[in-house]
Structure 1
Amino acid sequence: MTDRQIWQTWSKTVRCRPARWIVPRVEGQIVEAVCAAAEDGLGVRVAGAGHSFNQLACTEGLLLDLSRHTGVLDIDRRAMTVTVRGGTHLAEVSAALDRAGMALANIGTLDTQSVAGAISTGNHGTGIAHRPFSSQVAALRLVAADGSVLVLDEAADPDLLACARTALGALGVISTVTLRCVPSFSLRSVPGSERLEDVLGRFEEWAHSADHVAMTWLPWTEEVSTQAWHRTDDPPTQGARRLRYATTVDEMRCGLAGFAGRWSPASVPRIKRLLSSGGPVEYVDASHRVFSFPQPVKFLALEHALALDAVPEALRHLRVALRRFGAYSPYSVLVRVGAADESPLSPAFGRATGYINLTVPRTARYTEVLRTAEHLLRDLDGRPHWGKAHTATAEVLRPRYPQWDQFQRVRGKLDPGGLFCNEYIGRVLGPVDAARQVYA
């Protein structure tokens, strides 16, 4: 344990100075730390890999750092499941499964996230038939506010598990997670380029055109780069592991463009043209290596989940708003898709979803770009990603989640004293006492 040191997020844009900073290795240490914090009147928050872009994990009380609470505990080939500790990075899970001839059905682009963090914030990959990552959870162990360890699974209490799957750390500490798996598979990555309006005019058709799709768009252009990933039995392309780094190199160019354009954001399009090179190429590789790529560049990001059919209107409005603003980010707007989810606080709850992500350099000028985009997406009933930059409050969010009250009832039952609350949780979920009075 260390005292009064500064903890900061991966992007180094959010930091806090917890009174206690404990790095548990086993579940018993988590239980002991939670009980001690409750006795001493300290709030508790949990940090995984620190990939959130807001104050989700910040606290002046106890910070439970799961960076050493890691490891693959069991791979069950018969049940097609894997059980891991909550702080385990997705990359470690994927590598272990690959050796066992298994895989996760879908993951996001950054595999350095912790499993518990990815679950808690509604992390997702892309694919119209695929729900967010937390939908792959078959069971989990949750350390509650009273120090008890709850074993949640679909058979015993599917409603409680659904709440815990995307809970922002507000219900307790996720100790271990059992994930459903699939046999290992390969993907063919097929890049393309189209006019923006052509894709928007057939957006739903495009969303269903491959097992997984994504598109990126630089708002000062009328073209989009598309990506389609198709399942295949073909062997990996020679040099495939090197080809996946093409996106990493492009991110590094974006970082350079952002640095070069920090004094004149309007010059970013010209700088990007100077730094541009050949685009991505078609290749085949194992699914987890196609889904993700190394990301060495620090940045800020905002993302909202919209009803799938609202995405074309949102992008058209963004085109006008961002061009009017004139401070262009060197990073492309990223669009992904996903299936409806049933976890009460899932941004994909109840509707086929399109995810619109804006990434910007870490400067004040670009924060204003995010605010411009946020209000536009909010007006279209967008739901913010729980781990990314946004300013929404419980008052704004509650009408967007049909089962909001159900989650608050569970929250009031599991954490009646608000042990797992901090400033961010209070802002986006409201106080626990109010939840108990209204929803008891």
Structure 2
Amino acid sequence: MSRRTWANWARTVRCTPRYLVHPCSEREIVAAVLLADRAGLTVRAAGSGHSFNPLATTDGVLVDLTGFAGIENIDQDARTVTVRSGTSLSAVSAALLEVGLALPSIGTLAEQTVAGALSTGNHGSGFKHPALSGLVESLRLATADGTVREFSRDGTPELFRCALTALGTLGVITSVTLRCVPSFNLRVSEHSESLASLLERFEEWACSAEHVACSWMPWGDTVTSRFLVPTEEPATAQAARQRYATTVSEVKAGLIGLSAGLAPHGVPTLSRLLADRSAGPAGYVDAAHRVFTFPQPVKFVALEHALALPDVPDALNELRGVLRRAGRYSPYSVLVRVGAGDDVPLSPAYGRQTGYINLTVPRSAAFLELHRAVETVLRDFGGRPHWGKAHTATAEVLAPRYPLWDEFQRVRGELDPQGRFTNDFVARVLGPTAPGQLLERS
């Protein structure tokens, strides 16, 4: 234990907890929770720190799970993997590849921890695939009274659903069992067209490949779609170089952000000057987890809202007008992904096929103004903000957007009646803890 400052990945959020704990065992996690209880302190858990908001901060007990990592078991017959909560998605994918298994879909941040990804609603793209929580068979949770409880899809369905995306408010996740599939490769292809053309057939586009995404620079009228299709073809020789092309684009965007920090209106010109006109559309085959993810060395801040799929075209058209009238642009493209709905009470994809609209900006006050403009538009379309990304929503705004909000709050009140697993940000987005009656017990 030590008293020192903790910062998130983007270095935009910091806190100095009274106790910063680096557990190496489940028992040590429980001890940290009990320490907070005895001292009357709040307790939060942190992983790789990829939340762009103060979700993990506390002046009480901060449990840093990055050292509590590793594969506990791989059951090849059942096609499941059990991992410690601080294990990165990249480590899980590498271990699975060695035994011929894989996760069917993950997001772009390979270094994010499993517990952090679950707790904030992390997702990939494609209508056949819900958020990462859809792969969970069971999880273990160190709760406020110092007990470790196991919740499973079959044994404790209500508690299980609530624990999957809980913002760390029900306890500290200690281990997770995930469902896997046989390892597979993906063929990557890209296609450019006008934004108007894509929006006219948006729902058809969203179903056009196993995994689809598109990116759009708002000062232009062209959108580039990326299609990922499972294949039995071997990895191509240039796969690594193609994969790192995305990283190079991120670095260029970061450099443009530094150069245009005082003049965001100059971003389109700088972007055109740094564009690689010799590069053709990406087309390659590689292992799925290497296609889904890419190294992201540049620090940034991201906003993302989940919208009902039919609302995405109108939202993008509205965003185009708002951004062009403002004359301010981010050097990063607007990213659009899609996903299946689910039954997790606090999942942004709850109950509906979902379109995710993401805007990344440099860490500069001049660019952060763009987030406020974009958030206003997406909120008007009923968007649910990603729990780990930048947003200003409050519980009053969010509660009506989640049909099972009250169910989650009942479970929260029972598992954490004293409000140990909270902080100012959690209180803002979820409200205070209220002791409640648990509907089922493990």
**Distance of 1:266 and 1:84 partners within structure 2:** 46
1:3-402 equivalences under 5 Å are: 3=3, 5-277=4-276, 278-402=279-403
CA contact (8 A) 1:10 1:298 kept: yes
CA distance in 2, matches of 1:60, 1:266: 39
**Residue 430 of structure 1: aligned partner:** 431
Give the residue type in structure 1 aligned to 2:221. E
User: What is the deviation of 1:128?
Assistant: 1.1
Cα deviation 1:357-401 (Å, max 9, x = unaligned): 000000111111001100110010000000000000000000000
Which residue identity is paired with 2:295? P
Describe the superposition over 1:184-240 as per-residue Cα deviations: whole angstroms up to 9, x where unpaired. 011000011010000000000000000000000000000001100011111111121
2:203 maps to amino acid: E
Counterpart code for 2:347:
S
Q: How many corresponding residue pairs?
A: 438
1:230 aligned partner, one-letter code: V
Report Cα offsets for 1:15-39 as digits up to 9, x if no partner. 1111110000110000011001101
Partners of 2:202 and 2:238 lie apart in 1 by: 33
CA deviation digits over 1:293-331, x for unaligned, max 9? 000000000000000010000000000001111121000
Unaligned runs of 5+ in 2: none
For the pair 1:2 / 2:8, whether they are aligned, the reply is: no
In structure 1, distance between residues paired with 2:329 and 2:380: 22
The secondary structure found in structure 2 opposite 1:418 is coil
Q: Answer whether contact 1:126 1:336 (CA < 8 A) is retained.
A: yes
Compared CA separation, residues 82 and 382, structure 1 to 2 (3 A): same
Mapped contact 1:106–1:126 kept (Cα < 8 A): yes
Structure 1 CA distance for aligned equivalents of residues 224 and 15 of structure 2: 38
Q: Give the partner amino acid of 2:193.
A: E
- Please give the per-residue CA displacement for 1:38-81, whole angstroms capped at 9, x wherever unaligned: 01001000000000000000000000000100001110001100
Is contact 2:261-2:367 (8 Å) kept?
A: no
- Runs of 4+ off more than 3 Å: none
CA distance, structure 1, for counterparts of residue 146 and residue 51 of structure 2: 26
Conservation of the 8 A alpha-carbon contact between 1:314 and 1:377: yes
**CA RMSD, 1 decimal:** 1.3
Match for 1:429: what amino acid? L
Query: For the residues of structure 1 that align with 2:62 and 2:326, how far apart are their CA atoms?
Result: 39
Q: Is the 8 A contact 2:90 2:110 kept in 1?
A: yes
Aligned-residue offset at 1:241: 1.9
Amino acid at match of 2:325: R
AA aligned opposite 1:352: Q
Q: CA deviation at 1:280?
A: 4.3
Contact map agreement 1:122 1:386 (CA 8 A) in 2: yes
Offset of 1:159 from its aligned partner? 1.4
Residue type at the aligned position of 1:139 = S
Would the aligned equivalents of 2:192 and 2:223 in 1 still touch at CA under 8 Å? Answer: yes
**Partner amino acid, structure 2, of 1:62:** V
| TM-score normalised over the length of structure 2 | 0.98
Distance in 1 (CA, whole Å) between partners of 2:363 and 2:234 is 40
Letter in 2 for 1:412: G
| Conserved 8 A contact 1:140-1:153 | yes
Q: CA deviation at 1:279?
A: 4.7
Q: Distance in 1 between matches of 2:39 and 2:254?
A: 44
Q: What amino acid is the match of 1:49?
A: S
Q: Provide the C-alpha distance between the structure 2 equivalents of 1:387 and 1:154, rounded to a whole number of angstroms.
A: 24
Contact 1:166 1:343 in 2 (8 A): yes
Q: State percent identity of aligned pairs.
A: 58
Q: Secondary structure at the match of 1:70?
A: coil
Q: Read off the aligned partner of 1:84 and give its amino acid letter.
A: V
User: Hey, what's the Cα distance between the residues in 1 that align with 2:30 and 2:266?
Assistant: 53
Q: Residue 244 of structure 1: SS of its match in structure 2?
A: helix
Deviations 1:265-301 (A, max 9, x none): 1111000011110254200011000000000000000
Whether the 8 Å CA contact 1:246–1:280 is kept in 2: the answer is no
Paired with 1:259 and 1:225, the residues of 2 have a C-alpha distance of: 25
1:356: how far off? Answer: 0.1
Deviates more, 1:233-242 or 1:354-363: 233-242
Give the Cα separation in 1 of the matches to 2:294 and 2:197.
Answer: 28
Cα contact 2:332–2:359 (8 A) shared by 1: yes
Query: Taking structure 1 as the reference length, what is the TM-score of the superposition?
Result: 0.98
Give CA deviations for 1:132-173 in whole Å, capped at 9, x if unaligned: 011111000000000000011112111111100000000000
Quote the Cα distance in structure 1 between the aligned partners of 2:134 and 2:149: 19
Matched residue SS, 1:199:
helix
Q: Distance in 2 between matches of 1:382 and 1:340?
A: 14
Contact (CA 8 Å) 1:49, 1:67: kept in 2 or not?
yes
Partners of 1:99 and 1:251 in 2: CA distance: 30
Assess if the C-alpha contact under 8 Å between 1:44 and 1:64 holds in 2.
yes
Name the SS of the counterpart of 2:291 in structure 1. helix
Q: Check whether the contact 2:262–2:366 (CA below 8 A) recurs between aligned residues.
A: no
Does the 8 Å contact 1:303/1:358 carry over to 2? yes
Distance in 1 between the 2:151 and 2:112 partners? 22
Cα distance, 1:242 vs structure 2: 2.3
Contact 1:191 1:281 in 2 (8 A): yes
Instruction: Kindly indicate whether the alpha-carbon contact (under 8 Å) linking 2:192 and 2:225 is maintained by their aligned counterparts in 1.
Output: yes
